[in-house]
Amino acid sequence: MTNASPIPVVVNGAAGKMGREVIKAVSQADDMTLIGAVDHNPNYMGQDVGEVAGCGELEIPILNDLQATLVMATQEKVQGVMVDFTHPDSVYENVRTAIAYGVRPVVGTTGLSSDQIKDLGEFAEKASTGALIIPNFSIGMVLLQQAAIQASHYFDHVEIIELHHNQKADAPSGTAIQTAQQLAGLGKTYNPAKVEETEKLAGARGSVANDNIRIHSVRLPGLIAHQEVIFGATGQIYTLRHDTSDRSCYMPGVLLAIRQVTQLKSLVYGLDKIL
Ligand SMILES: NC(=O)C1=CN([C@@H]2O[C@H](COP(=O)(O)OP(=O)(O)OC[C@H]3O[C@@H](n4cnc5c(N)ncnc54)[C@H](OP(=O)(O)O)[C@@H]3O)[C@@H](O)[C@H]2O)C=CC1
Ligand SMILES: O=C(O)C1=N[C@H](C(=O)O)C[C@H](O)C1
């Protein structure tokens, strides 16, 4: 039993699919206190966030004012955390704003470019503020990626297929980009061409990420989040696959990140770095 003050948490994107899960998880965590919920969807403005998330009244209205909510966080005894599950178009500004207010960001929103991540890292460093950018909060994906890194030492041919629901704004997924980055840097170019290829339809062979790793993106209703990493060599195929069937699978990772970011003084990228 600890006497430490609970971590004040603001959830941005609180009315969304992930935001609702975070509201439930944070409101049930003994060492955290939900102090604010932000979302720009006008349908939920002013509604109690617990009612919207389906976990009962929490007496916290959903507001469309991130800065005012961050100001509330600065008035708490201990430094607050902002969890962001919003949209690729707004996440960069949200994170900069949180850091400017001294509130530590835990970022699940994907779609940040490498330059944006670098810039946020420098901003967090200057402010001596911890920040976490986590493209995938599920332990299963970390394990898949570790197995893929292991396999990359032995296979020269690999392609990634990511499959998501059709409300996803960004492609390829943040997880697929991260996975390609993890497999790169071994000093080899994957998938050396065996023939001269012609794409009869643009995009047929997917997008090309680090070290010539191809990523293919599927978007369909009925899917949640899935990824395959397929290694090939003469006479064999090695397939790694992760399937998400419920967004609650991300919550142990989100809660861990909220706890860990309070111990950081700079930006860290990836769940694997804090396990
Ligand atoms: N890291 C991880 O493990 C995971 C990451 N994600 C990522 O999280 C992000 C959100 O996903 P998901 O919850 O499915 O998306 P949703 O669209 O369901 O939820 C996003 C919510 O944020 C709101 N929103 C959008 N922009 C802003 C803004 N600038 N300020 C405040 N609220 C805003 C949206 O409102 P409106 O609908 O009106 O636009 C919506 O209510 C995506 O980038 C997704 O890829 C998802 C799952 C796991
Ligand atoms: O949009 C989603 O749903 C997901 N987004 C993340 C990504 O882009 O990798 C994580 C997970 O795949 C679910």
Q: Quick: pLDDT tens for 116-157.
A: 999 999 999 999 999 999 999 999 999 999 999 999 999 999
- pLDDT-derived band at 72 (thresholds 50, 70, 90) equals very high
Using the predicted structure, report yes or no on whether residue 185 has a pLDDT greater than 90.
yes
Same domain for 254 and 227:
no
- DSSP, collapsed to helix, strand or coil, labels residue 82 as strand
State the distance from the centre of ligand 1 to the C-alpha of 85, rounded, in angstroms.
4
Question: What is the average pLDDT across 224-247?
Answer: 98
Query: What is the DSSP-derived secondary structure letter of residue 80?
Result: -
Q: What pTM, to 2 d.p., does this model score?
A: 0.97
- DSSP, collapsed to helix, strand or coil, labels residue 2 as coil
Same domain for 67 and 52:
yes
Distance between CA 129 and CA 16 in Å, rounded?
Answer: 26
pLDDT value of position 4: 84
Same domain for 129 and 253:
yes
Nearest CA to ligand 1 atom 7: 109
Same domain for 236 and 174:
yes
Distance between CA 252 and CA 22 in Å, rounded?
Answer: 10
Any domain includes 73: yes
Distance between CA 169 and CA 133 in Å, rounded?
Answer: 18
Ligand 1 binding pocket, CB closer than 6 Å: 12-13, 15-19, 38-41, 85-88, 90, 108-111, 134-137, 168, 250
Question: What is the average pLDDT across 253-275?
Answer: 98
Q: Which of 24, 87, 168, 216 is catalytic?
A: 168
Using the predicted structure, report yes or no on whether residue 170 has a pLDDT greater than 50.
yes
Same domain for 182 and 154:
yes
- pLDDT averaged over the chain? 97
Distance between CA 177 and CA 172 in Å, rounded?
Answer: 7
Same domain for 166 and 263:
no
Map tokens 């991130």 to a residue: 66
- Is 168 one of the annotated active-site residues of the chain? yes
Same domain for 100 and 31:
yes
Question: What is the average pLDDT across 152-175?
Answer: 98
Any idea which ligand is nearest the CA of 138?
1
Any domain includes 32: yes
Determine the atom of ligand 2 nearest the C-alpha atom of 167.
1
Same domain for 229 and 268:
no
Same domain for 240 and 157:
yes
State the distance from the centre of ligand 1 to the C-alpha of 4, rounded, in angstroms.
31
Map tokens 């178009």 to a residue: 89
Q: What is the CATH number of the domain that holds 67?
A: 3.40.50.720
Nearest CA to ligand 2 atom 1: 168
Count of domains observed in the chain: 2
- Is 194 one of the annotated active-site residues of the chain? no
pLDDT value of position 2: 57
State the distance from the centre of ligand 1 to the C-alpha of 53, rounded, in angstroms.
14
pLDDT value of position 1: 46
Same domain for 233 and 129:
no
User: 215 is in which domain, residue-wise?
Assistant: 139-244
Q: Is this prediction's ipTM beyond 0.90?
A: yes
State the distance from the centre of ligand 2 to the C-alpha of 136, rounded, in angstroms.
7
Any domain includes 2: no
Same domain for 49 and 28:
yes
Q: Tokens in use for 94?
A: 């949200």
Any domain includes 1: no
Q: How does DSSP assign 114-181, residue by residue? A: HHHHHHHHHHHHHHT--EEE-S---HHHHHHHHHHHHHHTT-SEEEEEEEE-TT--SSS-HHHHHHHH
Determine the atom of ligand 2 nearest the C-alpha atom of 111.
8
Any domain includes 118: yes
Same domain for 198 and 110:
no
Nearest CA to ligand 2 atom 5: 173
- pLDDT-derived band at 69 (thresholds 50, 70, 90) equals very high
